[in-house]
């Protein structure tokens, strides 16, 4: 069965530090991959998505993610974190060839120290 693993439940970084959030997926074919962010009391907002082509994708708010097929990973990165980035981040996969039913990871909660 398809699954998404986010190994880190909670991460704390200092403002201005770099960030990497890990995501691994289990799926037989090339999946469609997404990163969403959820701020307190808010709905989910799409940060970026990968379907094919260049394995390094750029998203909103200065985020980027790299698809590595050999590692079944799609890690999210940001070179310099801002206090407003504190939120919960979800990696998701959609099955190829069908409609956009998302399978989510458990999420990583990011705290940012001033």
Partner 1 sequence: GAGVSQSPSNKVTEKGKDVELRCDPISGHTALYWYRQSLGQGLEFLIYFQGNSAPDKSGLPSDRFSAERTGGSVSTLTIQRTQQEDSAVYLCASSQRGTNTDTQYFGPGTRLTVL
Which residues form the interface with partner 1 (CB under 8 A)?
32, 36, 41-46, 49, 51, 90, 92, 94-107
Nearer to partner 1, 27 or 81 (CB): 27
Whole-number Å distance between alpha carbons of 97 and 95 = 7
Structure tokens given for 69: 């097929």
Write down the least CB distance from residue 40 to partner 1, Å: 11
DSSP string computed for 31-71: PEEEEEEE-TT--EEEEEEE-SS-SEEE-GGG-EEEEEGGG
Write down the least CB distance from residue 71 to partner 1, Å: 22
Nearer to partner 1, 14 or 29 (CB): 29
Nearer to partner 1, 15 or 49 (CB): 49
Whose structure tokens read 């469609």?
Answer: 32
User: Beta 64-68 vs 56-58: how paired, if at all?
Assistant: antiparallel
Kind plus residue range of the DSSP H or E element containing 3: strand 3-5
Write down the least CB distance from residue 2 to partner 1, Å: 11
Write down the least CB distance from residue 106 to partner 1, Å: 5
Nearer to partner 1, 78 or 90 (CB): 90
């Amino acid at each position: 069965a398809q699954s998404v693993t986010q190994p880190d439940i909670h991460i704390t970084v200092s403002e201005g530090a770099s960030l990497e959030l890990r995501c691994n997926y289990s799926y037989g074919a090339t999946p469609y991959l997404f990163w969403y962010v959820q701020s307190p009391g808010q709905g989910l907002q799409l940060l970026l998505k990968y379907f094919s082509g260049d394995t390094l994708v750029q998203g909103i708010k200065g985020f980027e993610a790299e698809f590595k097929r050999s590692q079944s990973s799609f890690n999210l990165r940001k070179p310099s974190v801002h206090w407003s980035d504190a939120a919960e981040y979800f990696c998701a996969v959609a099955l190829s060839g069908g409609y956009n039913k998302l399978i989510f990871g458990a999420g990583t909660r990011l705290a940012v120290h001033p």
